[in-house]
Structure 1
Amino acid sequence: MSENIKDNIMNEFLNGYDVKRISTGEILRGKVIEVNDKEAIVNINYAFDGLITKEELSLDDKNPSDVLKVDDEIEVYVVSPNDGEGYVKLSLIKALAIKEKDEINKAFKGENNITVYVKEETKGGLIAYYGNIRVFIPGSLASRERIELNILVGKSLEVKIIELDFRNNKVVASRRIIEDQEYEIKRNKLWSSLKEGEKKTGIIKKLVKYGAFVDIGGIEGLIHISDLSWNKVNRPEEVVKENDKVEVYIGSVDPKKQRLSLILKDVNKEPWTLHQDEIKEGNIYEGKVVRLTSFGAFVEIFDGIEGLVHITEITDDNISKPSDVLEINQKLKVKVLNFDKENKKISLSIKEAIEGSKEYLNYVDKEEGLSLGELFKDFKFE
């Protein structure tokens, strides 16, 4: 029997009843009334029940009973109002595809996220599916971190559609966009929560001449070389190395410019706080020359505390520069002339320390006219 004859018979039958006509391409809602190994029968509230063959149930040749159960309510696509056997030929795949395309289109226009299933790794990225719609995720957009793409295979991922062209079957998505947005939200929240003096755990990311950059959980801050230790530091490598885990203090925070200064040295062990009560004007201390300038020498009398010996306080001899008689790391005695606690400044004198020494006075009684270099000959150099 030809298709035309079948259609004529169907039309004649329907003309005898007051029923709504259906046509190819319509989406109907129905209820599953029977499922077997070859097909599923669906009540679509029509003169005839609908039939979905195994091929129209899933793309991966699943058993119909693994896809549908009796009493499931589903939407179906009308392939043909008359299959010639007294059923309306239906497709679940096509109905889902229309629905899924509509959902993807709305997500794309609204810049909303969708969840896809990653099926396999391919050249240049990943192949995922939103229902039955193929979605490509470029490797560079699979994550904001460097990862092996194969670890995502078999997982569900929340992504954002960035390209959509159903005519050419082109659906491109990005996971990285979402992770970048989440990172920025977390980053901004962290910036607003930072407080000066607060202690944080971080990782040394990069060393530069002037300090070290530290990641404290999504934000990088700088430890200036002067804040690495209370002692003088010539190079950051003397104190830390890359990937070290460190405990740091928040120095200053500028959320608007997103600038952060950090301090590695323990603020509770600040040398001036620890030793200021031990420093008295007129007292003599043993120190070490740590810097030489044209106008004098800086001598460290406690770890992290140094004072200035002006060139006029080095010796009564006529010298053109401190390095004429002093060397770096030279140990000697100095006398405190002035101590400014508020500004943390100390003025020191070498010649007054020597003049106040009994050993020096006895020495002068026996040996007059010795140079400062000779007077310092008993001090060891490091």
Structure 2
Amino acid sequence: MKNFIVAKSAGFCFGVSRSVEMAQKLLESGSAYSLGQLIHNDDVVRRFEGRGLKVINSPDELPAGARVMIRSHGVSKAVYAQLEKRGADITDATCPKVKRIHELVRKAQEDGRFVVIIGMHDHPEVEAVKGWCGDCVICENAAELDEWYGKFGKLLTKPITMVVQTTQTRSNFTECASFLKKRCTNLQIFDTICGATSMRQEEAAKLAAECDAMVVIGGKHSANSVHLSVICSEVCPNVQFIENAGELDTDRLKSADTVGITAGASTPAWIIKEVSNTMSEEIKTDAIPAEEKEMSFDEMLEESIKTIYNGDKVTGYVVAITGTEVSVDIGTKYSGFIPTTEFTDDGIKVEDAVKVGDTIEAVVVRVNDVEGTVMLSKKRLDAAKSWTMVEEAVESGEFLEGTVTEINKGGVVVNVKGVRVFVPASQSGLPKEADMNQLLKQKVRVKITEVNRSRKRVVGSIRAVAQKERREKAEAIWNEMEVGNKYHGVVKSMTSYGAFVDIGGIDGMVHVSEMSWSRIKNPAEVFNIGDEVDVYVISFDKEKKKISLGYKDPNENPWVKFTTKYNVGDTAEVKIVKLMTFGAFAEVLPGVDGLIHISQIANRRIGKPEEVLSVGDVVEAKITAIDTENHKISLSIRALAEPAAAEVEEAPEVEDNGEDALVYEVSTNGEAKGEIVEE
């Protein structure tokens, strides 16, 4: 054996812890009687007998007027009557969870229902439950239930109410409930298994599956201990069921690398510790100091029952979740619970916020000794931690995350893990006239700028976070800036000559000439403020913090498309887009225009282009010249027409109006001579 693992849930449950503490207090003022063994653990019972707690098995054995204790398993209604008849001074240690079952079956009887009890025959808890109702049957499992139902159950005229012994296994309860659901109408099923029992069984099964051997500590008459042994045996071949360290067979553990230890609800901490000590000695570890002094019986009981007070900080694990509360085992005689509202304030479902088995820290809010419950608050403990975190954030400058929960005239309130942080409107990060409601219920990061814990006042800034993040992003972008880099940005503003685009912390400008391959007069023809756009870097000046961006796609360059498709001498179908005194401009491809000089419009002399052409006409023309450097094209309709019989007329002299076009003297066959024609 190399090491061992003790289950977190091992040991006293709430009901047992409560009864043990009540017995201790009872014996402080003299001897008393216990109606049945106080708990199903012979070692504990013997020690209590030594202190004056005598076990009796019937009320008839109790001297008149004597002090008597009812154990956590509870007793029937008839037994209460017998004790009262004998004038007994009763200390009732019945577990509140068992008392709930008594009330359920009593109410079922009043309502004329038949009660089915799923539990062990002759177990004191089951016998006590039986004594609180009239017509009932006890079935240990689904097989017994099936047999009973086949003989008697199907003849019933009363509706059925089903309850279950608090220490039964979850699988047995599920099988029995499923059986009745398939056969009964108007059925009531109450899951009365103790949450701590379910958790203990689940943990034991998981631990047994992971270990080479298991040791289950508990009394032989303890129902929950017996169930633990059976559960472990289903997944682990080497299981020992013992009552104390004296029964431990260490030889059976020598071949095991890892051994798991679990214990029933009636097993005190000192017995678990004795078993652990024995195993520690076996693997020669010093986990338990040899010089540790032996504890007295009272000290060992104190260790097992652990009393708590309001304000105490406790750690436990979740054993059950209902619609109203989260049950927490805190390792004491009390059953802890946290209202589900503490987990659902932000609209989160409780089952998404916490799960059975989770370890949880909380603070004690209220202790109810009568019911054996303790109300806990996770939120209060978290708030205390959060205040410390907020105070430290002022010094460190760390940004904290929270949710905007409130809008007021002065700004917004951000909930940072339970602490209200006020953010003035000027620090919200929104423009002056913006609607603050757009921040409501949004997750934000804030910089804490002021904390006054005594006045519970905290001030923060969303804007400071945004500014710092923007600076960091800008620095990162400048560090990686290169011509050709591509960015996804947002159009922030526009002028008559271009648009400014935020590319993640810094702005660059897209000139109107870089927005489209087509001619546009205003950036608004392409962009709207707020548009998300993909841009690329054309040039930049890091010192002046200026960036020129391009938007039009280089792959869609119409000149490249033109030169790829056409050569000098090719014929193209063109569209007349503009008429001038010296000729006509025609679109060869979208974004590419060529000039048809007036002398190349017809094979005869004309005074102006309008005599032959109109805007919108589609005609065929020959490409007579391509100026690749200046992106200019000369076209000729005349070159494709039949030559006229008359002498070719010269083109009239025209004034240069500054249009961006090439004008050539062209021969009758359309070939350019390279000189401007003069009359």
Shift of 1:288: 1.8
Deviations 1:279-330 (A, max 9, x none): 43344433222344565433222333222334555566464x6567644333
Shift of 1:333: 3.6
Distance 1:151 1:304, change over 3 A: same
Residue 37 in structure 1 maps to residue 37 in structure 2: no
Separation in 1, partners of 2:640, 2:388: 97
- What letter is aligned with 1:262? G
Shift of 1:137: 1.7
Is the contact made by 1:250 and 1:263 (CA closer than 8 Å) also made in structure 2?
Answer: no
Shift of 1:186: 0.9
Separation in 1, partners of 2:530, 2:444: 32
> 2:632 — aligned with what?
345
Residue 190 in structure 1 maps to residue 477 in structure 2: yes
Is the contact made by 2:445 and 2:462 (CA closer than 8 Å) also made in structure 1?
Answer: yes
Shift of 1:177: 0.6
SS of alignment partner, residue 549 of structure 2: strand
Separation in 2, partners of 1:252, 1:38: 69
Shift of 1:270: 2.3
Is the contact made by 1:144 and 1:180 (CA closer than 8 Å) also made in structure 2?
Answer: no
Residue 151 in structure 1 maps to residue 423 in structure 2: no
> 1:262 — aligned with what?
550
When the two structures are superposed, what TM-score results if normalisation uses the length of structure 1? Answer: 0.51
Is the contact made by 1:144 and 1:179 (CA closer than 8 Å) also made in structure 2?
Answer: no
Is the contact made by 1:297 and 1:308 (CA closer than 8 Å) also made in structure 2?
Answer: yes
Residue 121 in structure 1 maps to residue 406 in structure 2: yes
> 1:137 — aligned with what?
423
Distance 1:172 1:332, change over 3 A: same
What's the Cα RMSD here?
Answer: 5.1
Gaps of 5+ in 1: 1-33, 41-64, 69-95, 370-382
When the two structures are superposed, what TM-score results if normalisation uses the length of structure 2? Answer: 0.32
SS of alignment partner, residue 441 of structure 2: helix
Separation in 2, partners of 1:220, 1:305: 32
Distance 1:365 1:241, change over 3 A: farther
* Structure with max Cα Rg: 2
Separation in 1, partners of 2:586, 2:492: 34
- What letter is aligned with 2:406? E
Gaps of 5+ in 2: 1-305, 313-360, 365-384, 650-679
> 2:517 — aligned with what?
230
Matches within 5 A, 1:282-361: 282-293=569-580, 296-311=583-598, 313-314=600-601, 317=605, 319=607, 326-349=613-636, 353-354=637-638, 356-358=640-642, 361=643
> 2:122 — aligned with what?
none
SS of alignment partner, residue 281 of structure 1: coil
Is the contact made by 2:515 and 2:523 (CA closer than 8 Å) also made in structure 1?
Answer: yes
SS of alignment partner, residue 187 of structure 1: helix
- What letter is aligned with 2:517? W
Is the contact made by 1:212 and 1:224 (CA closer than 8 Å) also made in structure 2?
Answer: yes
Shift of 1:247: 4.5
Separation in 2, partners of 1:113, 1:230: 48
Deviations 1:308-360 (A, max 9, x none): 334555566464x65676443332343434322233222334xxx325423xx
Shift of 1:217: 4.4
SS of alignment partner, residue 252 of structure 1: strand
Residues 186-195 or 277-286, more deviating: 277-286
SS of alignment partner, residue 151 of structure 1: coil
Deviations 1:345-376 (A, max 9, x none): 22334xxx325423xx4xx569xx9xxxxxxx
Q: How many residues align?
A: 272
Separation in 2, partners of 1:116, 1:276: 57
Shift of 1:182: 0.5
> 2:139 — aligned with what?
none
- What letter is aligned with 1:264? K
Separation in 2, partners of 1:208, 1:138: 33
Is the contact made by 1:100 and 1:131 (CA closer than 8 Å) also made in structure 2?
Answer: no
Separation in 2, partners of 1:303, 1:262: 20
Is the contact made by 1:290 and 1:300 (CA closer than 8 Å) also made in structure 2?
Answer: yes
Distance 1:37 1:293, change over 3 A: farther
Is the contact made by 1:339 and 1:346 (CA closer than 8 Å) also made in structure 2?
Answer: yes
Matches within 5 A, 1:6-85: 36-38=308-310, 66-67=362-363
Distance 1:202 1:323, change over 3 A: farther
Separation in 1, partners of 2:561, 2:310: 87
Distance 1:227 1:355, change over 3 A: same
Is the contact made by 2:311 and 2:363 (CA closer than 8 Å) also made in structure 1?
Answer: no
Distance 1:286 1:100, change over 3 A: closer
Residues 142-151 or 326-335, more deviating: 142-151
Shift of 1:253: 3.4
Deviations 1:12-50 (A, max 9, x none): xxxxxxxxxxxxxxxxxxxxxx9953567xxxxxxxxxx
Is the contact made by 2:494 and 2:523 (CA closer than 8 Å) also made in structure 1?
Answer: yes
> 1:377 — aligned with what?
none
Is the contact made by 2:572 and 2:620 (CA closer than 8 Å) also made in structure 1?
Answer: yes
Separation in 2, partners of 1:156, 1:232: 44
Distance 1:261 1:131, change over 3 A: closer
SS of alignment partner, residue 185 of structure 1: helix
Is the contact made by 1:125 and 1:139 (CA closer than 8 Å) also made in structure 2?
Answer: yes
> 2:277 — aligned with what?
none
- What letter is aligned with 1:354? R
